[in-house]
Amino acid sequence: MVLEKYILAVITTNPSKAPSGAAVFHCEDKKEMEIIAANLEAILDGIAHALTEELYVIVKH
């Protein structure tokens, strides 16, 4: 079995909302979260998805 889709990172302003099992980046505010998500998207060659206003995930498709 080969994994083709998976979560690379989680970016959040609310640490209690972050799941375990992935790299989690805690940010002070929404602006910082958007900057970190954009940078990680490029670095990790993934896609950023906003799940809520306080939670982004970077996934590999």
Domain boundaries, the chain: 6-60
Question: Both tokens of residue 13?
Answer: 């302003």
Phi, psi (deg, nearest 5) at residue 10: -125, 135
* pTM listed for this prediction: 0.85
Q: What's the confidence (pLDDT) of residue 32?
A: 97
Task: Calculate mean pLDDT across residues 34-54.
Answer: 96
Residue 36 near residue 25, CB atoms below 8 Å: yes
Smallest Cα–Cα separation from 23: which of 40, 45, 47?
40
Report in angstroms the alpha-carbon separations of 14 from 9, 58, 59.
15, 16, 19
At 10-37, the pLDDT tens digits run 999 998 888 788 899 999 999 999 999 9
- If DSSP codes are grouped into helix, strand and coil, which group holds residue 29? coil
